[in-house]
Structure formats: C-alpha cells, structure tokens
C-alpha cells in the first residue's frame, strides 16, 4: 500500500509497559507488512527520534504504551518533526494518561464515575476515615500508569496504607476510588465510533496485570451478554467519554457497573494493547474486521 509511504511502528520505549509495547509493535509490524505496507519497527529507547526523518519515514504507527508514548510527549515530538501519526493528539493523550484529570473532565461533563479521593505524597492521611468515606472497600491507582501497574485493593486501614504506599512508588498523585462490584466492560473505538463491547471475567479480584497478560483463565465475552438497550447505552457512553477528552482515531474506554448495575467510567486508553490477548482486535473481529484490516484502518484514520 504505497499510499502510506514508509511507516515507522513505534514500539518499546522506556516506560513500565515496555514489554507489552514490544509485543504489540511486533504484531502490528507483521500485520502491516502482510497488508502490503512498508512497515518497520522503531524503538525510541534505542534510536533518536530525529532518525525518523533521516531514514525517510513518512508516517508513524504509535504503539508505545505508558509514559512517553501515550501521554502527549511522543505526539508533540512527531508533530514538531512533521510526521503524521496514528491516534489522538497531544491534549487527549495527556489528559487520558492522567486518571485524576480524566475523572475531573468526565465529572464536569456530567458523565458517571465512581466516588473517589485524590491523595498526594505530602499529605498526612487518616486511612480509616478515608476508607469509611468511600464505602469500606476501595481501589487504589497511581494517577499516571497503565496496564494496572501499581494498583491494588484495600478493605482495612492497614491495607489502604500499604496500597497507597505502593501506588506512590509510581506517582506522586494517587486516586482512591470506591470499590465497584459489578461486571467490567471495555469498549474499543475506531474512527471515533464504538465497536462491540467486551465483558471481562477473571478469577482475580480485579483485572490486574497478570490477568491481562499472563493468566490463562481470563475470559472475554463479546457479545457482552447485554440487552440491545444496554449495549447501545454502553457504546454511547464510551463515545461520549472519548469525545470529552478530545480523543481521535482509535482508543479504548473501560467501564464497570456498581452494585446497582449502573455504568461507571474507569479510564480511557489512547494507545491500547495490540498483542494476541488484546481487546481492540477482539472487538474488531466481532465487528467483522481481521487484524490486518484493523491496523490499516487505524493507520488510515490517524490524527497527526
């Protein structure tokens, strides 16, 4: 497909999600080549970005996960270099990477989220009171990490103190959210439109790093066993959430239900995984698209 010219698949990087990114990138390179695209792996951890110009690349397919790759940094650099790239722009990526800012925008937009409190490194915390305020059980998340890195649950003051201490190893700001006990869903977006929802089922307490990338018993249901009305409502919610962050091209929005069955937005991912276990390819397959068709569509509908 000469329409794309020479394409750099950005993979690896130096974030905590490097290994996942390498697997995503290798899958994307192979699929693009199978589709006739002149695609090449490019790892910014080993090669200066200026080499993109020097080596004659005309477009970038970004599958750098985590900090540096989906927080607006690489997007700004590519924009400066004048190289078109896949996915959302600087603002959307910076917002979506920060779970605190994401929630603030969703709340201001009137979109449903779980009750939460933001705690910073310099605060003195009353863990028992914080736990009581949020319903007795919570999920603790670093503000800016992906792949569930640094996340843990807590149901006692001691557990909460340990969970916050763990999350602080990854970020100065930590989000403490009320525990959501209902099923978990993820909605992939392609060209800003929602693909069929996926319901996640894991034997783990929550969908953690191991459940995502290593466990063999994690189940993915697509169709998600929702009624037609519920499926439509979930897709519309995901599209609204993506749009409110200025998302463009492709991405993924994660959602859980509370104990009353109401959808609550969790987070948005502007550079989702593209490994053999990843969810965007699964949703695309349910919509009748092969992996090759998916990566070409993502390349075609780039933002940059």
Please state the rounded mean pLDDT for residues 103-121: 95
Q: Are residues 107 and 215 in the same domain?
A: yes
Domain end point (choices 133, 148, 178): 178
How many other CB atoms are there within 10 angstroms of residue 80's CB atom?
Answer: 9
Q: Are residues 206 and 229 in the same domain?
A: yes
Q: Are residues 74 and 130 in the same domain?
A: no
Q: Are residues 172 and 190 in the same domain?
A: no
Q: Are residues 191 and 271 in the same domain?
A: yes
State how many domains the chain has.
Answer: 3
Judged against a pLDDT cut of 50, whether residue 243 lies above it is answered with yes
Please state the rounded mean pLDDT for residues 266-291: 92
Please state the rounded mean pLDDT for residues 122-150: 87
Chain centroid, CA 223 distance in Å:
20
Domain end point (choices 178, 207, 224): 178
Q: Are residues 106 and 249 in the same domain?
A: yes
Q: Which residues of 113-150 are buried (b: 16+ CB within 10 A; e: fewer)?
A: bbebeebeeeeeeebeebbeebeebbbbbbbbbbbbbb
pLDDT of 6-62, one tens digit each?
999 999 999 888 999 999 999 999 999 999 999 999 999 999 999 999 999 999 999
CA dihedral 74, 76, 77, 80 (to 10 degrees): 160
Please state the rounded mean pLDDT for residues 113-142: 93
| Selection from 102, 193, 178, 96 nearest residue 135 by Cα | 178
Considering the chain, what is the average pLDDT of its residues?
A: 91
Active-site residues, by number, are: 17, 147, 213, 252, 254, 267, 269, 273
Comparing 228 with 2, the larger pLDDT belongs to 228
pLDDT of 140-151, one tens digit each?
999 886 556 788
Report the C-alpha gap between 275 and 269 in whole angstroms: 15
- CATH, residue 171: 3.30.1490.20
Q: Which residues contact 157 (CB under 8 A, 6 or more apart)?
A: 127, 128, 131
pLDDT value at residue 16: 82
Domain limits for position 71: 2-86
pLDDT of 184-242, one tens digit each?
999 999 999 999 999 998 765 555 455 454 556 678 999 999 999 999 999 999 999 99
pLDDT value at residue 304: 47
Please state the rounded mean pLDDT for residues 143-172: 87
Q: Are residues 196 and 285 in the same domain?
A: yes
Residues facing 224 on adjacent strands: none
Alpha-carbon distance values, 273 to 3, 23, 96, 196 (Å): 25, 9, 15, 17
Q: Are residues 171 and 190 in the same domain?
A: no
Q: Are residues 105 and 207 in the same domain?
A: yes
Q: Are residues 101 and 227 in the same domain?
A: yes
pTM score: 0.89
Contact assessment for residue 144 and residue 175, using Cβ atoms and an 8 Å cutoff: no
- CATH, residue 282: 3.30.470.20
| Run of H or E including 53 | helix 50-54
- CATH, residue 11: 3.40.50.20
Q: Are residues 234 and 150 in the same domain?
A: no
Q: Are residues 194 and 153 in the same domain?
A: no
């Amino acid at each position: 497909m000469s329409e794309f010219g020479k394409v750099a698949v950005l993979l690896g990087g130096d974030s905590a999600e490097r290994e996942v990114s390498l697997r995503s990138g290798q899958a994307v390179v192979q699929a693009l080549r199978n589709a006739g695209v002149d695609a090449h792996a490019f790892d910014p951890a080993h090669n200066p970005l200026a080499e993109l110009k020097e080596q004659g690349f005309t477009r970038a397919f970004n599958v750098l996960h985590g900090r540096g790759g989906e927080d607006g940094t690489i997007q700004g650099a590519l924009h400066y270099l004048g190289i078109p790239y896949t996915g959302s722009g600087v603002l959307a990526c910076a917002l979506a990477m920060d779970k605190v800012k994401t929630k603030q925008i969703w709340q201001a937009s009137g979109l449903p989220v779980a009750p939460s409190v933001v705690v910073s490194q310099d605060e003195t915390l009353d863990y028992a009171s914080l736990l009581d305020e949020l319903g007795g059980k919570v999920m603790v998340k670093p503000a800016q990490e992906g792949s569930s890195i640094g996340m843990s649950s807590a149901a006692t003051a001691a557990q909460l103190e340990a969970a916050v201490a763990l999350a602080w190893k990854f970020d100065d700001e930590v989000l403490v959210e009320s525990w959501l006990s209902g099923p978990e869903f993820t909605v992939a977006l392609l060209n800003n439109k929602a693909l069929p929802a996926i319901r996640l089922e894991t034997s783990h307490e929550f969908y953690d790093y191991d459940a995502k990338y290593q466990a063999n018993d994690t189940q993915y249901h697509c169709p998600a066993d929702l009624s037609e009305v519920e499926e439509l409502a979930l897709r519309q919610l995901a599209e609204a959430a993506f749009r409110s962050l200025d998302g463009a091209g492709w991405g993924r929005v994660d959602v859980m239900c509370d104990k009353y069955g109401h959808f609550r937005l969790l987070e948005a991912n502007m550079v989702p995984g593209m490994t053999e276990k990843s969810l965007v390819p699964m949703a695309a397959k349910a919509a009748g698209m092969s992996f090759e068709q998916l990566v070409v569509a993502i390349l075609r509908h780039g933002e940059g």
